[in-house]
Amino acid sequence: MAFKPERSLKVVLTSLFSQYRNENGVSATRVQAVYRQTMGDYISNHTTRIYMKNNVLFLYIDVPSLRHELSLGKLKLLNILNEALGEQQIKEIKFH
């Protein structure tokens, strides 16, 4: 069994936090929290999955009519979420 050298706490924590962030530094939990806070209870309760990949926000909505209504206002939703995040992290939204 090979010996692993000790690492400083800073190195370990940096490695750990980088695993929970996407490539641009916005944590998945922050995006989810902003989405749920911005959209309210009804829409949040019908959103079954939220995740970001390559600056694209994927939203899984379980009510087809709600999914359609949100897709019609995609640009406005994109602007609201980016404003709430404080930076232009989300480039596109895809509904499923």
What digits encode the pLDDT tens for the residues 11-30? Answer: 777 776 666 555 455 667 88
The token pair at 61 is: 């909505």
Q: In what side-by-side order are the strands of the sheet with 92-95? A: 47-53, 56-61, 92-95
Average confidence (pLDDT) over 57-62? 96
Q: What CATH number should be reported for the domain holding residue 68? A: 3.30.300
CA distance 29 to 72: 26
Please enumerate in sequence order all residues whose Cβ is within 8 A of that of 82, keeping only pairs 6 or more positions apart, or say none: 88, 89, 90
Q: 9 pLDDT band (50/70/90 cuts)?
A: confident
Domain count for the chain? 1
**Within-domain flag for 34:** yes
85: left (phi over 0), alpha (psi -120 to 50) or beta: alpha
What residue numbers bound the domain in which 58 lies?
A: 27-95
pLDDT at 8 over 90: no
